Structure 1
Amino acid sequence: MNWGVLIVSAGFILHLNIIGYLYSYNLLHIQLKESFNSTATEAALPGSISIAFYAVSSLGVTWIFQRFGDRPAGFLGITLCCVGLLTSSFVQEIWTLCLTYGVLYGFGCNAIHLVTIDMIVKYYKGIKTTRCIGITMTASSIGVLLSPCLEWLYTTFQWRISLRILSGVFAIVCIPCMSLFREKKDNVTPRDIVTQKQENKTRRNMSLFQKYIEMVRIPAFLCLVCSYAMSGIATTFSFVSIGSFLTESGLSGTQTSLILSTMGAGDLVARVSVSLLSHWLPISITSLYAIGHIVSASSMLSLPYAVNATFIMVILIVFSVSRGIIFVLIASAPIEIAPVHSSVESVGLVYLVFGMCALSTPYITDNVYDITGSYNSAFFICCGLYACSSFFLFAAVHLNKNMIRGNSNENCQYNQIIVNREESKEYSKEVVSRVTVI
């Protein structure tokens, strides 16, 4: 039996539960705002911090599983998630949730996410890696589809007892899944050892800091970083505060959970479709990523003018499709723009920027609601952020094409010089031959 199938299946279940719940914070946001009688900004902060730490803790998590192994790092992630939910159920101040739910749960999610990807990469190579990672990542969208179940849990037991129940369920389900993560034993040949030594020597020639400096100096990648900064703010808002907007619009808890569930369906369809069709489209990955931001901007611009629940649902479904495109390509765009030897580091850098900017989301969007009493201004802000983000992405595509064209010309000139040198050598040999004959 191929053990890699079990790895992918276990990763799917882990993402369905842990990451799916991370992206379902909209419902908990409503519960916290009512329970603590807090402002929208205060209630949104734990969710935005958890999503931010889900991105910015990548460097620390990478060091942990490289130092201690994938399985111990994965168990650490599950422990942090369960402990974070359990301790969150006992807090009496909403600011404490920023630590228990925001930091602990977000860090734990990142550990589970990166360990799963690392295990899949070890078991599968080439196009199979992309497919298997895509299958695993779709589980988080399916987790959002279960929003009606989560709404029933909150309504029946209230949010404190619900967090305790979820903590126990996650431990029972996820610990056996993580137990399936075992290292792959390959037959290593002497040639593989030599190749690995050469790769390690190449990596040591350029430090991590030097690679970051090199990437930032590339105009196309710098535009990409600016795009991720703005996208991080706007996208985090959709995961944290859309539920609060639906409640303030007069929709019931059942209607809110239904709309969030349909958004999860749209997100899932987009992820699967883009994963299967992106290689067949006549545009670059970064261009498709930019189009997703344009659709998101249009959706955010339309929400303030929605007159009924049906119109709101249609707009949010369209938005969820574009959000699915954004998240399925979030790691592919930097790989396309960055140098080949820095592809992994480029993903880590843009994730870091995305997560750091996600921390400011409540103060930029929900704070506007606390001041004005309406989310309309927040939607306009997110529309502007998505529009500017798409502009920087198209600029990155243009600059990258010019850079590739320039490198091609340089390579042609270099090749021509080599050819001229070879011709000169041949001519010299011919002259020497003739002189020798004479």
Structure 2
Amino acid sequence: MADIATKYTGGPTRRGRLHPAWPVAAVAALAIVAAGAFTTMAGLFTEPLRREFGWSHGEIGLAASVNMVVYGVVAPFSAALMDRFGMRRVVGAALAAVAVGALLSTAMSAPWQYVLTWGLLIGLGSGAIALTFAATVTQRWFVRRRGLVSGVLTAAGVFGQFVFLPVLSWVVDGHGWRTAAVLLALVACAALPLALVLLRDHPADAGVGAYGAQRFTPKPAALPGAAARTVRVLGAVARGAPFWLLAATFGICGASTNGVMWTHFTPAAHDHGMPATAASSLLALIGVFNVAGTVLSGWLTDRLDPRRLLAVYYALRGVTLLCLPVLMSATVQPPMVAFVGLFGLLDVATVPPTLALCRELYGADSAIVFGWVAAAHQLGAGLAAFLGGVARDAFGSYDPLWVAIGAVCGAGALLALVIARPAGRCGTVSGPGFR
């Protein structure tokens, strides 16, 4: 080990070979893409389920809400489980869960079964391969380029969420929603063996240090009591205002993205006469801009104050949502394309600066803390998804929803500016560096 420590200097491995961190990040991105494909399907399934079963928007929205809440709640426990059992096992189990949930959903006939399959099983699986997985990969495998890599891995999730939408929309229209569910299950099954074979848990498994590290770090012992540790970390950070500010802003992020856009944009566009395939194509285009916006945000996070970045992102997002009611029409017009481009650049750009603040504030426990912050993201998303369906049933329109969420984003911009950024990096929340 000492020999490795003296020879390893970060960056590429000896003799110019590619550092193992990059293949691990690539495999992680593939798994995130596969899991992300499940998170935007609720909007495509809304109208087919209403036609076939006669379910209300509220009943269908409840399953989407449960999915988002479970997705968020499982995230911090997933980070601790990865410390206990390794990324490979947790990711493998998660991919299996989403595949089983999708297959079982094809036999459902009642709303509670939709909640069980799409809400619970797929929420568990996709939540385990979400933002905390990206945080764990960047924390273990990278010292340099953390902002960039976190942006790329976040973009992978967005890519999975949106790249399949036009194809799956066509499948739903031509072959039914069950065929689309089976197709998603096959995507997860295809990613499963690659993750089990190629994903490595720690740089020490490859005999190197993290990318950019100046010394070799031995693999730490597996930490027992994953659930207890997750709760203990929450208890520690909950005593400080920065955690609640991060949770509040990220909850607003979830409400204004997953909660309303990914769940209600397609049915809202359908209300104005736009075909579901066209609306899904617009969401896919948002995904394209997501990739550019998130990678750019990661690059900016390595260079600028993440609090100010968050304030700008939330303020601009709020303005775009306030404009959406007047942009909806039966056909795709240039103003709607402009909205899609701007919203896409802002949609997931909040992740790299939020993750950077977690790392600065909470050190080695940052992945777990970020998991709790991500849980707030999904709680906000679930609440907005459910209330959006209720609002549509009550008012016959989604317009009040867009206006309300746009105003909430303005509040998120103000909250981001008052997050106390530490003068230096802190240790773990259980250690003396926490403050």
TM-score normalized with structure 2 length: 0.79
Query: Quick one: which of 274, 290, 315 aligns to 2:339?
Result: 315
> Structure 2 vs 1, CA of residues 10 and 343 (structure 1 numbering), >3 Å: closer, same or farther?
closer
2:85 matched to which residue of 1? 68
2:35 matched to which residue of 1? 18
Q: Quick check: 2:91–2:195 contact (8 Å CA) kept in 1?
A: no
Matched, 1:158 2:176: yes
1:121 offset after TM fit, Å? Answer: 4.3
Superposed, 1:374-393 pairs within 5 Å as 374-393=397-416
Q: d(CA) in 2 for partners of 1:56 and 1:80?
A: 16
Q: d(CA) in 1 for partners of 2:418 and 2:343?
A: 23
SS at match of 2:205: coil
1:167 offset after TM fit, Å? Answer: 1.3
Q: d(CA) in 2 for partners of 1:13 and 1:344?
A: 20
2:253 matched to which residue of 1? 231
Query: Quick one: which of 95, 99, 102 aligns to 2:116?
Result: 99
Q: Quick check: 2:38–2:184 contact (8 Å CA) kept in 1?
A: no
Query: Quick one: which of 240, 244, 251 aligns to 1:222?
Result: 244
1:87 matched to which residue of 2? 104
Q: Quick check: 1:7–1:120 contact (8 Å CA) kept in 2?
A: no
Q: d(CA) in 1 for partners of 2:249 and 2:189?
A: 37
Matched, 1:362 2:408: no
1:343 offset after TM fit, Å? Answer: 3.2
1:57 matched to which residue of 2? 74
| Paired AA for residue 279 in structure 1 | D
Q: Quick check: 1:73–1:115 contact (8 Å CA) kept in 2?
A: no
Query: What is the aligned-residue RMSD (CA, Å)?
Result: 3.2
Matched, 1:279 2:296: no
Deviations 1:304-323 (A, max 9, x none): 22264313332233222221
> Which piece of structure 1 moves more, 72-81 or 4-13?
4-13
Matched, 1:326 2:350: yes
1:42 offset after TM fit, Å? Answer: 2.0
2:432 matched to which residue of 1? none
Superposed, 1:74-153 pairs within 5 Å as 74-113=91-130, 114-115=132-133, 118-119=136-137, 121-122=139-140, 124-143=141-160, 144-153=162-171
Q: Quick check: 1:4–1:120 contact (8 Å CA) kept in 2?
A: no
1:185 matched to which residue of 2? 205
Q: Quick check: 2:290–2:345 contact (8 Å CA) kept in 1?
A: yes
1:31 offset after TM fit, Å? Answer: 2.9
SS at match of 1:356: helix
Deviations 1:217-251 (A, max 9, x none): 43344333333333333332222111111111110
Q: Quick check: 1:294–1:386 contact (8 Å CA) kept in 2?
A: yes
Identical-residue share of aligned pairs (%): 17
Superposed, 1:380-419 pairs within 5 Å as 380-396=403-419, 400=420
SS at match of 1:182: coil
> Which piece of structure 1 moves more, 156-165 or 108-117?
108-117
- Runs (4+) off by over 6 Å: 191-197
Matched, 1:30 2:47: yes
> Structure 2 vs 1, CA of residues 247 and 314 (structure 1 numbering), >3 Å: closer, same or farther?
same
> Structure 2 vs 1, CA of residues 165 and 224 (structure 1 numbering), >3 Å: closer, same or farther?
closer
| Paired AA for residue 185 in structure 1 | D
> Structure 2 vs 1, CA of residues 103 and 225 (structure 1 numbering), >3 Å: closer, same or farther?
same
1:294 offset after TM fit, Å? Answer: 0.8
Q: d(CA) in 2 for partners of 1:196 and 1:15?
A: 25
SS at match of 1:241: helix
Q: d(CA) in 2 for partners of 1:111 and 1:208?
A: 14
> Structure 2 vs 1, CA of residues 70 and 173 (structure 1 numbering), >3 Å: closer, same or farther?
closer
Q: d(CA) in 2 for partners of 1:193 and 1:226?
A: 35
> Which piece of structure 1 moves more, 365-374 or 349-358?
349-358
Q: d(CA) in 1 for partners of 2:169 and 2:208?
A: 51
Q: d(CA) in 2 for partners of 1:167 and 1:307?
A: 33
Deviations 1:255-308 (A, max 9, x none): 112211211112112112112233334xx1022112111111111111122264
Q: d(CA) in 1 for partners of 2:364 and 2:195?
A: 33
1:294 matched to which residue of 2? 315
Could you say which structure has the higher helix fraction? 1
Q: d(CA) in 1 for partners of 2:208 and 2:200?
A: 18
1:259 matched to which residue of 2? 282
> Structure 2 vs 1, CA of residues 225 and 66 (structure 1 numbering), >3 Å: closer, same or farther?
closer
Gaps in structure 2 of 5+ consecutive residues: 1-16, 210-214, 425-435
SS at match of 1:250: coil
Matched, 1:43 2:60: yes
Q: Quick check: 1:142–1:264 contact (8 Å CA) kept in 2?
A: yes
1:210 offset after TM fit, Å? Answer: 6.2
Matched, 1:167 2:185: yes
Q: d(CA) in 2 for partners of 1:192 and 1:305?
A: 57
Q: Quick check: 1:71–1:181 contact (8 Å CA) kept in 2?
A: yes
> Which piece of structure 1 moves more, 340-349 or 321-330?
340-349
